[in-house]
Amino acid sequence: MKALDLIVSPSPHIHSGAKMTGISYHILIALLPAVIVGISTYGLDALRVICSSIACAMVFEALIQKLFKKPITISDGSAAVTGLILALILPASVPFYIVAVANFAGIVIGKQCFGGLGANPLNPALVGWAVIRITKAWAGYLDFDLALVNYDTGFLMQYPLAVLKAQGASALSHFDMIDLFLGKQTGGIGAAAIVWILIGGLYLVVRGVIRWEIPLFFLLGTAALSGIFWLTDQAAYAGPMFHILTGNVMIGAFFLSTDSGSSPVNRWGLVVYGLGCGAMTIFLRAWSDYSDGVVFACLLMNLFVPLMDKIKDKQKVPEVRSLG
């Protein structure tokens, strides 16, 4: 008699009925206004980075699946989402080869090496960004003050978080909060569209594509800890609103931290995860060498997701329904 194999897989074990294709295309739709604003701000350079990043992500995914004789799944849109999100946190001036390396690291190392979609413990876009960010030879390409110095955008071409890191909060008087919210700030391509990132994120929450707990508690964690720092020394530390409106916090709350494969399942796990991402962002901004700690904060919290999934809530287990 043939022995039966015991197959053990991570949660969730109940299918929600959602398809990856629909989820991916909702995310692409949510980011479309930010793409348009980014291109209108930085011109053809932004278009080049966005198109090359999406293309590289899809090509690398198809090649690695072809190499290992797996079904090619680029039509589900997940690789395109990874490429687009990665592009939005890069400066418009970054060379093509850096975009290609970032996508190779994200898709091949951060996703396919762990088994592909849903098996990745880390967000592939964050893995790709981290690899090129820690490469010292490329640091200048990701320094927004250096990389974007030749662009004429109509607003002050000075990275707000770099000013805070170098000179303290007392040097931030020339940054207007409304201007920051409207995207009038140096940064990644997506930083030019903070308001549209927020609207796109809310669209995903309303559509049920992402859970509301992560973005809400991400922003609360950012606001709470930055408020504590600010109350201790207002000359050195910026207030909560400044931190929320600068860098990658908004895109981090709605698009970077909510990757389904690398975020918790249970409600209290989502709450702890969101708070941890927001708080760790402020710790890194205040005490590390990095001006914006969002990417590394999300990556660090990704590592604790298996532990957070052990935090059980008191929800009733839903009935298993036939999806056929």
pLDDT band at 274 (very low <50, low <70, confident <90, very high): very high
What is the average pLDDT across 48-65?
Answer: 96
pLDDT band at 152 (very low <50, low <70, confident <90, very high): confident
Tell me, what's the pLDDT at 3? 57
- 2 within some domain: no
Q: Number of structural domains, the chain? A: 1
- 8 within some domain: no
Length of the chain in residues, anyone? Answer: 324
For 176-195, the pLDDT digits (tens) are: 999 999 999 999 999 999 99
- 155 within some domain: yes
- Buried b vs exposed e over 273-300: b needs ≥16 C-beta within 10 Å? bbbbbbbbbbebbbeeebbbbbbbbbbb
The DSSP code for 108 is I
Concatenated DSSP letters of 217-234: HHHHHHHHHHHHHHHH-T
Domain that holds residue 286: 21-308
Residue 2 has pLDDT above 70, yes or no: no
- 15 within some domain: no
Q: How many CB atoms lie within 10 A of CB 82?
A: 32
For 207-248, the pLDDT digits (tens) are: 999 999 999 999 999 999 999 999 999 999 999 999 999 999
Name the residue among 114, 109, 53, 43 with its Cα closest to residue 81.
53
The interaxial angle of helices 20-42 and 78-88, nearest 10 deg, is 30
- Rounded-to-integer distance, Cα 242 and Cα 263, Å: 26
- 16 within some domain: no
The pTM is what? Answer: 0.88
Name the residue among 290, 223, 283, 288 with its Cα closest to residue 253.
223
- Rounded-to-integer distance, Cα 10 and Cα 312, Å: 15
Measured torsion, CA atoms of residues 307, 103, 157, 149, in degrees rounded to the nearest 10: 140
How many degrees, rounded to 5, is the angle at CA 209 between CA 321 and CA 104?
Answer: 115
- 139 within some domain: yes
Measured torsion, CA atoms of residues 68, 28, 162, 217, in degrees rounded to the nearest 10: -100
Name the residue among 3, 38, 289, 287 with its Cα closest to residue 187.
38
For 87-133, the pLDDT digits (tens) are: 999 999 999 999 999 999 999 999 988 888 878 889 999 999 999 99
What is the CATH number for 303? 1.10.3430
- 313 within some domain: no
Close Cβ partners of 32 (under 8 Å, ≥ 6 residues apart) = 200
What is the average pLDDT across 169-182?
Answer: 92
Residue with the bigger pLDDT between 323 and 162: it is 162
Amino acid in position 31: L
Task: Name which of 5-14, 129-138, 254-263, 284-293 the model is least confident about.
Answer: 5-14
Measured torsion, CA atoms of residues 297, 268, 10, 117, in degrees rounded to the nearest 10: -50
- 323 within some domain: no
Name the residue among 273, 178, 286 with its Cα closest to residue 226.
286
pLDDT band at 317 (very low <50, low <70, confident <90, very high): very low
